[in-house]
Structure 1
Amino acid sequence: MTGADAPGHAARQAVEAAWRIEWPRLVAALTRLAGDIATAEELAQDALVAALEQWPRDGVPPNPGGWLMVTAKHRAVDRIRRDANFARKLELLGREAITAEQPVGEPDSAITDDLLRMIFTACHPVLTPPARAALTLRMVGGLTTAEIARAYLVPESTVAQRIVRAKRTIATKRIPYEVPAGPELTQRLDSVLEVIYLIFNEGYAATSGDRWVRAELCEDAVRLARILTGLLPEEPEAHGLAALLELQASRTPARSDADNGLVLLADQDRSRWNRLYIRRGFAALGRAHTLERGRGRAPGRYALQAAIAAVHAMAPTAADTDWRRIAGLYALLAERFPSPIVELNRAVAVSMVHGPGAGLDLVDKIAGSGALADYHLLHAVRGDLLERLGRAAEARAAFERAAELTGNEIERELLLRRADSGSNPAG
């Protein structure tokens, strides 16, 4: 690279960095102005093109994000002026023209509200869960379709179609770009929390492929949860979810070995757990409990799960784990938010307190209901309990069935090793 090319290259790098960081907030603000996500993306692209043209020539502005925002809003105002429905939009134009004329260095106080609107729009219950996840990662997380496709091990065209269909559904059903109020807020917040939780879970234990942990998805979900607590500081379950994800994510460095093999909880080197994430998780959980007590409410679904994760985080070794406390928390979770998966986790905790026989009784009850017949972890847990009881042949059959059902290659390898070797349970 010649000396003459260096300033232009640096400017282009600055454009790329600003675009990556500012894109979600930029599109969120422009959606409020334009009333349409697709139009907002076009306006944002216009600002990007302008930056690519001007920054190499004029230099990188002191506030790149602010420059992009003001430039895009100017273009939005120009488009509104040309709109055939100018009269209908006159009031909006007057309000937004003032915003668009703000000095570049002045923060836009509406950005926070815009991002919150985008999260609730992207996670509207009318969309399918895969569409919500893809749209949230694209519009709020700022990931490209290629990055989302790699994370979920699906073709890029599949992700692109999900996003396009989601935007079309939002437009055709005229879903308002707003944060709902009253009972609808609770319903929509549940959807928002669920989508972020599902994104994290796919990263924490990938459902398919040859990687056990997809740390990038975990990090995106943690970041989204942090954003949500900043936007909704008085919502206890937002803090509960953030606590859960921080505490779970703290284990990520220890969940795989140098060969990308799966390392179960009891075998993990806890010195590798991320202490900063644990401190953040404790702080978020404390905030959730404070808000719940202030409202006279019982802990929510995510706060209860975070409390369980906190018990693990407090134990310096696996042997020090307070399984009695964990079993009690799972019992409370099962009572308030019943599900077969919660019951399965409770069975594991019960087995650690009262022995594998007690745990197996609970697992066999779940199996008898047929609710989790094709869920590989039901058979994996059952195999572990049977092995602890010395029933080797039955344990082998259970591990083999679990290996058949999982779509993750790393997990399958571990389950087949368990079936072949009868290794000790890892918890």
Structure 2
Amino acid sequence: MSSPSIVWFRDDLRLADHPALRAAADRDEPVIGVYILDEQSPGIRPLGGAAKWWLHHSLTELGERLREKGGGFVLRRGAAADVLPALVRDTGAGAVFWNRRYGGAERDVDAGLKESLRRDGVEVSSFQASVLFEPWTVRTGAGTPYGVFTPFWKACRQLPAPRNPVSEPRELARPRSLPASDDLDTWRLLPTDPDWAGGLRERWTPGEVAAKARLREFLREDAAGYDRARDEPSAGATSLLSPRLRWGELSPFEVWHAAVASEERVGGFLSELGWREFAWHTLFHFPDLATKNLRSAFDAFPWPRLKPAMLRAWQKGETGVPLVDAGMRELWSSGYMHNRVRMVTASFLIKNLLIDWRRGEEWFWDTLVDADEASNPFNWQWVAGSGADAAPYFRIFNPELQAQKFDPQGLYVSEWAPDSADREPIVDLAETRRAALDAYEAVKRAG
């Protein structure tokens, strides 16, 4: 009798360049794809609202495409350490394949499952698919993790070039039967009361098919002007590939090789892929990135008592600071914010409102469609000055000067916050800058 192969999908919701799926297809046995919504394993961070919306739609397309190829697709909810072995028993699977994860809690889950399944006689293999350079392969001469981007990326570029993408299986062997699957609608990933996702539906089409189309469009129409215009929020020069990479609808290998093969100058764009690699490198070595300052001296920062009204004004885009309000409203409406504006809004929260960076990280985690467990806290710590390769704390983005430089005609602000000029700022930028620098003296003394 044939023994099916299980492919455990995680943040790799695609069929192309999917080494785990390729390995299962090459085994010439029936293939069953599985997605487990795991909110119960210790240390696993529950998804935010915008992420759940994206996941629902991406899983819908993934299931359809797997079935078109002949494979099966099963949805289950629960702790992976319980759910996956039960599926192996129910299906009689002889092999389980997955692509590796790099967060601390996820690695613990995967290592435990690999050991227990192998002990039960199941073939288990994992593969590199979501990062170009696995974190343990990039180390300083002293054998320590890199803490600064430029030497990190230089070291990466001296390694063998990223592998070529793995071909998508033409067809999959069909299982005779499938175990019971959850109905995706019962997971209630979509908002209903109220339905706040209208802006997300208007801006995004999740799924691998749309992801590939966007990559082609970017390289054809936007890549040439990327380095020049990427900091202008109204220019439309950014790739908009971040949620595609976050959910694995595209692999970084696909993006890398497509960019290199294009006829455009893409050095700046490839460097942004490098920054993503650096975030995952940092999370691998510092699993508490979302909750603990990477630079322990920042534990001495004297955050004042939280003023909930200030935090709510920032979240709603009602601070009276036009560029900040525009960014926060773009985020709430579309689940996305231009990268330059992300830095400005984060700096304003931390260094003008004197609110702990973790509060901002939590809000972005809930509202961004591209928030992943590496880049989101990594970038917040970078702005705060507490993380790897961090901007010095005294580098405080002045949102008025940033608007003059990167939105001189006010196009971005007029699109997202046309009423902001009628509001008074909730804080004085100069006074709060001085207060932030005074508070930073405590960090300097501790450091």
Q: Work out whether the TM-score is over 0.5.
A: no
Q: TM-score, normalised by structure 1?
A: 0.28
- Larger proportion of helix: 1
* Larger gyration radius, structure 1 or structure 2: 1
Q: TM-score, normalised by structure 2?
A: 0.27
Q: Which has the higher contact order (CA 8 A, sep 6+)?
A: 2
